[in-house]
Structure 1
Amino acid sequence: MKHTIMAAGLSVVAGAAFAQSPVLTVYTYDSFVSDWGPGPAIEAAFEAQCACDLQFVGAGDGAALLARLRLEGDATEADIVLGLDTNLTASARATGLFAAHGITPEGLTLPVAWDDAEFLPFDWGYFAFVHRTDLANVPTSFEALAASDISIVIQDPRSSTPGLGLLMWVQAAHGDNAAAIWEGLADNIVTVTPGWSEAYGLFLEGEADMVLSYTTSPAYHLIAEEDAGYTAAAFDEGHYMQIEVAGQLAGSDQPELAKAFLEFMLSPAFQEVIPMTNWMYPAALDPAALPDGFESLIAPATALLVAQDEAPAIRDAALATWQAALAR
């Protein structure tokens, strides 16, 4: 009986201690919190230093995060949103839901300068069409892809940041000719999925010859699976860059803890997890520290990127062009 009472007492004490731990809620995309994504390792590393309970909440794909925030407004339970990109930051800022982070980032290894009061980068990469190395007649441009009978799977730009990135890529590379490019690509598209995971899964199941993903995606197959049979097609017009970011909600009831997480996000404990779980380039890690295999990836000759403040107008026009082309 004494042991039972003591055990019960310890349980109460432990429960009280746990209840007192502050909770930090981070909205992110589903693949980030998957068993094979960065979430589990990052959660363990941050909780080891914060005396808190870090809770990741998967909210679909990247672009779906902004839609959820708009729906929830000031009532959102999120303290941090992680997984928007520079195509969405201007629209996110316009909601008034984000607070200035007050952090001067040091040691960034992005290929572009960074100056943003609300958002901080955590990784980056280039969009590309991934395929098996035995694919014949690999296209080297959007025009060549449109003229081919190669099948592709892409993501919906209304819910997916890669899908939106493809729209911006075509628009940045082809401008007034974007509509013709999409009209040519329409019969190459097998399906449009809500997010990246669904599209990549269909590709791996053999449902399409190529999938919209990243130049870094073949590193997963090479390193994790020891399969050198995947690569990314290099396009002559260049490749669009994605920079993924996180921001703190102005209504967070844990502002100091949220800032601590953003600072942690730029530390080696976070950044070293990214290459072999999110399979992207870290935003604040010496390239020399990248795993073996990353040096084999294609390096785009031309990097394309639309300025954050110009993205909303270009995005809206590109979306209308895409919808009109695929409706024909």
Structure 2
Amino acid sequence: MRSLLIAAGLVTGAAAAQAQTPELTVYTYDSFVSDWGPGPQIESAFEEVCGCDLTFVAAGDGAALLSRIRLEGESTEADIVLGLDTNLTHAARETGLFAGHGLSPELDLPVAWEDPHFLPFDWGYFAFVHDADFDAPGSFTELAESDASILIQDPRSSTPGLGLVMWVKAAYGDEAQAIWDGLADNVVTVTPGWSEAYGLFLEGEADMVLSYTTSPAYHLIAEDDPTKAAAPFEEGHYMQVEVAGMLEGTEEPELARQFLEFMTGPAFQSVIPTTNWMYPAVTPPEGLPEGFETLITPDEALLFTPAEAAEIRDAALEEWRVGLSR
């Protein structure tokens, strides 16, 4: 009887301990939580210091995150959303679902950062990636006039796809519609997210794919493959700053804030260059990995403010839709 009581007590104690372990749920995009993405390493590193259970939930590509949060509203299970960018933060803030983070880390960004709701975790420049021996166009006008085939992502579900729309708009303004009209016959397909498009490119389905100036670093460092390159465009390249924000309705506000603080620290930031293949928001003590010095640096960085991006988004999307429907 005594042994049964002890066993029962141990089971009860274990259950109570498990019940007391706080849980933090982070919505993010698919590639972030893939086996080769930063998610697994970050989950392990944060759980070592938080005494919690960190769960990443994949929710499609970046732009799909905002759609899901809007749909779920105050009933969302997310404590944090990680993977929006500055083209979406204004709209995200307008939902009223995000809380202020109250943090002010020192960041290494090419732009000044003041946002009470969202913190950056990485940044980069959009670019068309191609095989190094391919004679790639050097501008959108050259691309539209060429026979080069391209793979792009849907701007309604994908942050790179939306970034491309903003890139064309930032570079060409009122002439953006003409650019999309010219690009229509270059587009092989439009995928829901980045992973699908890049996979098709690697399978040889097109000459070029919308990705990042940092993408060739993956092939060079992880695969010892120098055969991929990013095409420098004379118009400049649109910048992406990826961010995370905590939900107003989180039941673990202190833990969520701890994660955001951890996000800008070395344990998180040192993982970004060789798993998410972007520039870290805070350069880790060891610096950038060897191979990053080979990447192209845009002559001009293009970026709308969050408010500007929100104001022109619908019109820019319509130009994309009309152009590709012809």
What is the SS of the residue equivalent to 1:314? helix
Among candidates 123, 139, 142, match of residue 141 of structure 1 = 139
1:288 to 1:269, Cα distance in 2 relative to 1, 3 A: closer
Aligned residues: 326
1:43 partner letter? E
Which whole-Å CA distance do the structure 2 matches of 1:47 and 1:144 have between them?
49
Which whole-Å CA distance do the structure 2 matches of 1:229 and 1:11 have between them?
57
Gaps of 5+ in 2: none
Q: Deviations over 1:273-294 (max 9, x none)?
A: 1000000000011596100000
Contact 1:109 1:286 in 2 (8 A): no
Which whole-Å CA distance do the structure 1 matches of 2:298 and 2:285 have between them?
16
**Equivalent residue runs for 1:83-232 within 5 Å:** 83-106=83-106, 108-135=107-134, 137-232=135-230
**Equivalent residue runs for 1:1-328 within 5 Å:** 10=10, 12-106=12-106, 108-135=107-134, 137-286=135-284, 289-328=287-326
Task: Give every structure 1 segment of 4 or more consecutive aligned residues whose post-TM-superposition deviation is greater than 6 Å.
Answer: 1-8
The alpha carbon displacement at 1:19 in A equals 2.1
Contact 1:62 1:83 in 2 (8 A): yes
Q: Deviations over 1:145-204 (max 9, x none)?
A: 000101000000000000000000000001111011001100000000000000000000
TM-score (norm 2): 0.97
What is the SS of the residue equivalent to 2:147? coil
Q: Deviations over 1:289-326 (max 9, x none)?
A: 10000000000010000011111121111001111111
Q: Deviations over 1:92-139 (max 9, x none)?
A: 000000011111122x1101110001000000000000001111x310
Contact 2:266 2:284 in 1 (8 A): no
The alpha carbon displacement at 1:15 in A equals 3.5
Contact 2:266 2:285 in 1 (8 A): no
Contact 2:118 2:244 in 1 (8 A): yes
2:104 partner letter? T
1:104 to 1:225, Cα distance in 2 relative to 1, 3 A: same
The alpha carbon displacement at 1:14 in A equals 3.2
TM-score (norm 1): 0.96
CA-atom RMSD, angstroms? 1.6
Contact 1:129 1:213 in 2 (8 A): yes
Contact 1:172 1:305 in 2 (8 A): yes
